[in-house]
Structure formats: C-alpha cells, structure tokens
Structure 1
Amino acid sequence: MSDVRISISFCTIREGWLGNTFRALGQQTMPKELFEFVMVDDWGDRWDQVKRLAEENDVNVKYMKSKPWHWKSNRQLGNARNTGFIHCDGELVVFLDDYSWVEPTFLATHWDLYKHRRRAVIGVVQAVEPEYGEVSSKADLKTVENDRDERWKSIHPKHEKDDCNAGWFWTFNASAPMKSIIRVNGYDERFDCAGEDDVDLGLRLARIGVKFLYTSDPKIKVYHMKHNGGQSRPSPFPPEECDKFTKEMLNVKYDGSWGLMEDNSRRKPWMVNQGYFSLEEARKNRGDYQTRRHRV
C-alpha cells in the first residue's frame, strides 16, 4: 500500500520554469515519502531534465504524456488532468500550475486543512514579473526560517470563507479529495473555455456534497510568474454562453442556476465523459499507459 497522501496534479504545454517548482517541492516541510509530483507534459520529451531535477531535490515523480483524446487533439487541459488522475495515488489532489512555486508549508497546510476542516481548499496566488522568475530560477535560493516579524500580520491579514462558492475553484492553487474527483469522473474533456473547465469541476464536486474553504493564509500561497499563452483550446460552447456561465458561477449568492451544467448530454448533472472515458476503470488499468518514475 502506498504511503502517499498528496498527489500534485501538474500539466503543461510550456517551458514552465521547472527548476523553481522542483526546488520549492524539495523544501516542503511534509516528508518526501508522503507526496508525489504527477506531471503530464505535452510540451516535449523532458524526462532527462525532470529526472535530474527530481534527483537533485528528492521529489517523487510520475512523468507521462496525455492519453489519446476522444475528440480531436490530446493537447487539451481537461484530457491532461484526467491522464494525471489515472496515476494519482494520493488521498488528496493538489493542483499546481506551471510557472509556479510555493511556500515550504504549502503541502502540509493543504493536508491539515483537508483533514481537520473536511473541505476542498482554495488558496491565494501572487503574480510575479517574468524578470523575477528568470533570476530566481538561476539562483540557489534557500528557505529563511522565522524571517517575518509580527507586523506582517497587519499587512497581510488572513481571510477565510468557509463554505465558499464552488465557482471560486480555480486550480492555480486548490485541492480536492481524489475519491470525489473519481465520483464526478474528472474533467469534462469537451469543455476547455479559457479556465472555466476547472470551475466546472468545482461545481460538479459541489453537486455531490463537497464543501469548499477559501483561505488567504500565506503558508499556502502560490507564486505564479506572468506569461503569455495557455493550455486552453477552442471550446465546444459559444463564447457568449461561456461569458454567461462565468458570470453565473462567480455570483456569491449562487441561486442554483447551473448554466452549462444542465447540458442535456449529462444524464447526471455531476457526471461527464459518459460513454467514452471512465476514470475509475482507467485507474484499474493504469498499466496500459506509459509512465516514467523517479522514487526517493
């Protein structure tokens, strides 16, 4: 039986400043054997680079390409996320974007909030300029312990919203239970509308009873470098419907009007990909997919 508690879902079609990400994961306070980095890489074959970074920073890694996509191209984020889910062994999935790095307490805090509050968690993201990302990627940065005095609390107060809107589920910095993701069958692989695909997942998780906690706790902060280009591909839904859906799902007083969630092809409002992909079955047959690994 695996000791892994957390699987980090990381999908990319870009260069992604991987050095920053791996160094941050190597500095985590959570013991190394309790988390794994599940990387779906459709930018190119970078296994040699990924393996070297994993060895240098003592990080458990699973590395793969996207599975064949039912629709037309496998370079689509929903399909890539589902590919990673097939190989996740953790009880909790933590989502992390490329061009990102995190605080040393990032994973331990996600886990503690999940275990003690029984919530999917949404954290804050701080944007940084590309110049900072380039400099820090070349520097051998070390964590400085106890480097803040008490004044930082008044400058960066911690805000929380329990039972927050599921429409805030943006996977720059979020986590959710693996068993719940399996129950809703992962991402809708038709739906890639410049970010709404992850919110769609959040709304479906809410439909099966998952509660969400928003926190601005700096221990869980993600630093995300500004960049051009994204993983999104043309959506099967018209732009005006996507705009309408975005406004509805960000309404704090969400009234239960689920917008595109009521697509007639969904026999159950929380279920997607029916008839061509089953996450539960794919996980049982994960040996059918080529995966490269580095274990600490």
Structure 2
Amino acid sequence: MIELAVIALRGVQYALISLTFGLPAFVLLNRPHLDERALQGLRAQVGWATGAMVVVVPIAILAQTALMAGSWSGALDPQALLVVVTGMGLGVALALRWVAALAEGLLFAFRLKGRGFWFPAVLLGLVSVVTLAWTGHGAATECVGKFIHQGSTAVHAAAAAFWIGALAAFLWLAFRPIEPGSEEEARAAAMLTGFAGSGTVAVAILVATGLVNTAFLVGPSRVLQLPQSLYGGLLILKLGLFVLMLALAALHRFQLAPQMAARSAHALTHLRRSLLVEFVCGGLILALVALLGTLSPPMAM
C-alpha cells in the first residue's frame, strides 16, 4: 500500500507541476488573445494547482519516509523525516518543490497581476520542474553521464509540462460558454494556430531528449528487447499515447482551427471532444511515467 501511495502521489505532483508551470507559460505566449475573463479563469486554475501542491508535497514526504521506514507509523518519526529531507536527493527535491509552491502562493497573497504575476509564476513552476530530474532514474546515473542525463530529464520534463499545461488551458477555454461563430471562438482558433510554433518546438525537444534518456535507460542494444519486460511494455504504451497526442494536435491545428476561423457550426464541438481525448492521453502518460520511475530500466538489470 505504501508503494502504491508513493506512485499515486508522484503522478499527482507531475500533473500539478504541469499546471503551475505550463499554464503561466501558455498565458505569457498568448496574452494578446486572452480577455480579462479568460485571464482570471486561468489564474484561478493556477491558484488551485498551487494550493494542491502545498498540501500534496508534505504528504509525499511522509509517504517516502514511510517507504524507507517500512510503515506509516515510521513516517511520523522526526529523525526519519530529517534523514529523508536533508540526507536524500529525493527529499531535498521535495522540500525545494514545496518551497517553490509556497512562494507561488505568495504571488496570490500579494495580489500581483499582469506580467508581475505570470512571469514569476513561470520561474517558480520551472523550479518545480527541475526538481523532477533529481527524483527519477537520472539521479542514479553515475560519472559525467549523470549531468547529461539529469539535464536532459529536466528539459524533457519542462517541455512535457508546457504541452500538458497548454492543453489544460485550451481545454478550459474551449469548454467555457461560447457562442458558435462568436469573437471568442475566433480568438480560440487564433490561439490554436499561434501555438503551432511553440508546440512544434516542445515536440522537437521531447523527441530529442526522449532519445537521450532512452539511450541511458535502455541502450541501443536492448531496444528490440523492450517488449520482453514490464518496463519496456509500459514505455511502448507511453510512446503510443504520445503519437496519438501528436495526431490530435495536428488535427486541431490544420483542420479544426481553420474551421473555427471560418465560423463552422460544428468545429467547436469537435474541438472539445478532441481536446478531451488528448488531455486524457496526457494524464495516462503522467500515470505511466510515475509508474516507470519505480521500475528498473533494462540498463539497470
């Protein structure tokens, strides 16, 4: 049960980090297309995600301590907690992640607005993203390769968080009450079209860093053996979901966005369904990543 709790909490943190970093980054790139009502709504989503991070991270620290101690009661031992938070890279990363969430919460407490809110939110969210590189397989890599692997993991996590955060923003914007053929629908189409550039960069980064990480975790000689292990099977499933998300993103950009710009009557309905499917795929990928982080990759076997 403790192991399942650790995996679940890991996945929840991945999702929340995607929101606390990806949503503000999306807003900074799309502010000309966002009205005040949209900005307030997206700001509220960041606020909920930040509040959840403040609560979830200490629970994750307790769960990690319980895993180390072998029982939930052991998680309440102050000495054990101190060892986890100060003596383990994972604990230090979780503590820093919590501090970043608290600092992001202060942005709401001081009621900062405009770039004075969104830019610091991106930076603090990025801090949380970088801590992910300290808690996965990259942290176990040795020698010079450790820095390459951790750097690649951090960049990979940032690109993934940006994509999923932007997807969450699109989903929220699309499911607002919008009149077909209205100006709001035209703005949504403009954002989908404008996202093509940054989205393409994110995908290119994901592919490049994914290849680097696979080289460290699997190795070229073991690629064909991936289906023979649980780790390999889950990795293949993750890649399949990624390809499906790419196909849906292309559908949004090249078919649905032009239809919305042309004020097609059914384009918004199709977009909502497609975005929902892509968002579910993204959630499944985060769950798979949380599980893969607990399994031994082929290079460690």
* TM tier relative to shorter chain: under 0.3
Determine which structure has more spread, i.e. the larger CA radius of gyration.
2
Query: Greater share of strand residues, 1 or 2?
Result: 1
Q: Give the TM-score taking structure 1 as reference length.
A: 0.24
Higher RCO, Cα 8 Å, sep 6+: 1
